[in-house]
Amino acid sequence: MAVSEAIPRGHRQVRYFAAIGEDALAWVEGLARDAGLRRVPTPRAASLLLIAGRLPERSWPALRRVHDQMPHPRAVLHWGEGAQPVPDAVALAPAATPAVAMRALQGDLDRGARGSSPDLLPNEPPAPWLGKGPHGQGGEGMMGGTPYGRPMTMRGDELRDGLRLDAHAVTLGPFAPMLPPGLALDLRLQGDVIQRVEVMQPPFRDAMVEAPFAAAIDRPMSAAGLERARAVHHLRCLGRFCALRGAAAPAARAYASAYRATIGGRVDLGSLRRWLWLSGLRPGIAPGLGTLSAAQRGCLSGPALRAAGVPDDLRTRLEPYTGVGFAPIARQAGDVRARIDQWLAEAAQALDLAARLEGLPPTTFAEGLEGPAGALGAPAGGDRGDRPALDLDALLRGLEWGQAVSVLASFSPDALRRMLGAAG
C-alpha cells in the first residue's frame, strides 16, 4: 500500500496542474503518494502551477497559455533548475520536496497574503471582431469571417466513410496530460478519428530513466540495482497506461510496487497481475491495435522490439547476466496488448534477476548495456545510428482518439522520443 501522510490539520488539498519538463516525470508521479496534493488534468481546476524540471525555450509560449488559463487566485512553483519561464514563480531546488512549499503557497493564497500571479499574455481577443458583421459578432454570411474572434472549421477529406465533413485542425500542446510530457501533435480530426498527424515537438528528454544505466558505462554499478531500476521504469509505464484507461486501482498498485522497488522492499507482482486481470484492461484493447508495419519495426528498441517478435537483448551477451542464466522474453504480436504484457513480464523478470544478482560485486559495462528503453553505449555488433525514425502519421492515422492515446501510452516516453528521431 502506498505510504501516505494524512493531510495536516488546517490545510485542504492543494490542487495543482503539473507542467512537466525534462527529467521530471518520475518526480511528479511520486508526488501522488502525498494525500494532501492532488494533480488535476486541467489548469481550470488548479490553483497552483507546478513547473517540474527544465523547460526548453520552445515550450515557453505554451506554458504562458497554460498559466493564464488558471483561475485567480493562482501561484506558480518552479521545481528544478534552468531559466525561469514565469517571472514571479517561487523557485525550489530539485532536491527539495515541493509538498511543504506548495501548502505554504496555497495557504498564502487563501489568506490573501500573496497576490495572484498576473496574466503573461496581453488581454486582447485572438482576432479583432467586435462590431463587424450583422450582429457585430465579426462574421459574414453563414461560415465566413472570424465570429467571436476565431474562424469556423471548414470541410475536408475523409478516410473511412467518405462523408466530407469538418476537418478540424488542432494542435495538442506539450503539456497535454494524456500525452507524454513535451509531445505536441498537430492533428487533423474528423469527429474523433485522426485523419493526419504531424509531430510539432517531440517529447522532452527524460535522462532520469537512464541515469543509473548511463553511469554504469564509466563506473562500477551493482547489476541488481540496475535491474531494480528497470523494473521501476516498466511498472511506472504500466501504471501510467492503466491510469489513462481509467483503471485507478491497478494503476495505484503498479505505482506502489514501483515505489517499493525503489526502496528495495519486497514486491509482490502476483497481486498486481490479479488486479490487472480483474480490471479487464487487456480485453478492452482491440487486438492488433498499434501494430507497426514491417518497414517501421526497424525503429523499435528495447521492450517494444522484444514485444514485436525480435528477442534482441544485450544482456544475453554480458557477463553477470549470462552467469545467472538470463533468457530474453519475446512476444510476436507487437501490438499494444503485447507491449503491456512485455512490461509486466520484464518487470517480474528484472526483480527476479535483481534477487539473484544481489551478492555480485559492482561491475562496469564499458562496451554498453541494455537500458530500460533499448541498448545504451557502443554495444558490440549492431550500431544505433542507422535506426529509421517512427512515422507517427502511419501509426495513428484512422484511429479514434482513445485508441491513439493508448498507442502513444504503450511506448515509454523516452523510447518514443528516441523513435521520433529526436537528437540528444
Partner 1 sequence: MMGPLTALPLTLCVLFAGMILVGVLDALAWRLLGRVPIDDDDRLTLGGLRAVIRRQSISTERPDLAAWRLAPALYFGLAAAGLALVPVAVAVGRAPVDVEAGIVVWGAVEALTVIAVFLHGWSSNALLPLMGAYRFVAIGLSIMLVSMFVLIGAALPAGSLRLTAIVESQRELWNLVRQPLGLPLFLLLGLAITLRGPLDYADAPDLAGGTSAEDNAQLRLAWQLARAAMLVAFAAMAATVFLGGPLGPVLPGPVWLALKAGLVAAVLVVLGHLLARPDASRMMTFIWVVLLPLSFLDLAIAGLEALR
Partner 2 sequence: MSWADGVFWLLAAVALLTGWRVFRTDSMVRASFLLLASFIAVGAMMLMLGAAYLGFATIFMMAVEMMVMALFMVMFMMNPAGLNPMVMVHQHGLAIVAGLVTFAGLSAFALSLDLPDRPLPGGAEVIAPLGRELLGPSMLVFESAGVTLLATMLCVVILSSRSGRFGPSDLGSVPPAVDPAIEEDP
Partner 3 sequence: MTALIALALILLLSGGLMLLLAQVEVGPMPGSEPQKVPFLGGSEPATHAWQRFHLRYYPMTLLFIAFEMEMMFMYPWAVVYAEIGAKALAEMGMFLLILSIGIFYGWREGIFRWQ
Chain residues in the site for partner 3 (CB under 8 A) = 19, 42-44, 59, 61-63, 65-66, 68-73, 119-126, 147-148, 150-153, 155, 158, 160-161, 163, 165-166, 168-177, 179, 184, 190-193, 400
Residue nearer to partner 3 on the CB measure, 107 or 191 = 191
Beta-carbon contacts of residue 151 (< 8 Å; ≥ 6 apart) = 127, 145
Q: Under rule CB under 8 A, which residues in 366-385 are in contact with partner 1?
A: none
**Least Cβ distance, residue 294 to partner 2 (angstroms):** 25
SS3 of residue 172 by DSSP: strand
168 by Cβ neighbours in 10 Å (0-12 / 13-18 / 19+) ranks as middle
- Partner interacting with residue 145 (select from partner 2, partner 3, partner 1, none; CB below 5-8 Å by kind): partner 2
Q: What is the dihedral of CA 30, 33, 36, 41, to 10 degrees?
A: 60
Residue nearer to partner 1 on the CB measure, 279 or 301 = 279
Residue nearer to partner 2 on the CB measure, 98 or 139 = 139
333 lies in the site for partner 1, by CB under 8 A: no
32 lies in the site for partner 1, by CB under 8 A: yes
- Partner interacting with residue 4 (select from partner 2, partner 3, partner 1, none; CB below 5-8 Å by kind): partner 1
- Partner interacting with residue 184 (select from partner 2, partner 1, partner 3, none; CB below 5-8 Å by kind): partner 3
**Least Cβ distance, residue 150 to partner 2 (angstroms):** 9
**Residue 297's CB: how many other CB atoms inside 10 A?**
16
- Partner interacting with residue 38 (select from partner 2, partner 3, partner 1, none; CB below 5-8 Å by kind): partner 1
Beta-carbon contacts of residue 86 (< 8 Å; ≥ 6 apart) = 49, 51, 63, 64, 67, 76, 78, 117, 120
- Partner interacting with residue 140 (select from partner 1, partner 3, partner 2, none; CB below 5-8 Å by kind): partner 2
Residue nearer to partner 3 on the CB measure, 57 or 124 = 124
Phi, psi of 369, rounded to the nearest 5 degrees:
-155, 175
- Partner interacting with residue 139 (select from partner 1, partner 2, partner 3, none; CB below 5-8 Å by kind): partner 2
**Least Cβ distance, residue 158 to partner 2 (angstroms):** 10
Tell me the β-bridge partners of 18.
50
- The stretch among 281-289, 293-301, 345-353, 364-372 that binds partner 1 (CB under 8 A) is 281-289
Which among 253, 177, 229, 203 has a CA at the least distance from the CA of 420?
Answer: 203
In the 8-state DSSP scheme, what is residue 324? T
Determine if residue 152 is left, alpha or beta; phi over 0 gives left, psi from -120 to 50 gives alpha, anything else beta: beta
**Least Cβ distance, residue 152 to partner 2 (angstroms):** 6
Applying CB under 8 A, the residues found at the interface with partner 2 are 133-135, 137, 139-145, 147-148, 152, 161-162, 165
Phi, psi of 2, rounded to the nearest 5 degrees:
-65, 140
- Partner interacting with residue 135 (select from partner 2, partner 1, partner 3, none; CB below 5-8 Å by kind): partner 2
Half-sphere exposure of 81 (CA within 13 A, CB side): 2
Which of 94-99's residues contact partners 24+ apart within 8 Å by CB, and which partners?
Answer: 94/27, 94/53, 98/31, 98/50, 99/31, 99/34, 99/36, 99/37
Instruction: Report strand pairing: 369-371 vs 75-79.
Output: unpaired
Q: Which amino acid is at 318?
A: L
Give how far the C-alpha of residue 257 lies from the chain's centroid of Cα atoms, to the nearest Å: 19
Cβ–Cβ < 8 Å for 25, 18: no
**Least Cβ distance, residue 377 to partner 1 (angstroms):** 31
- DSSP secondary structure of 250-296: HHHHHHHHHHHHHTT----HHHHHHHHHHHTTTTTSPTTTTPPPTGG
- Partner interacting with residue 133 (select from partner 3, partner 1, partner 2, none; CB below 5-8 Å by kind): partner 2
**Least Cβ distance, residue 190 to partner 1 (angstroms):** 12
Q: Which residues bind partner 1 (CB under 8 A)?
A: 1-2, 4, 12-13, 15, 28-29, 31-33, 35, 38-42, 44-45, 47, 69, 71-73, 110, 125-126, 147-150, 168, 170, 176-178, 191-192, 239-240, 242-253, 255-256, 275, 278-281, 283-286, 289, 400-403, 405-406
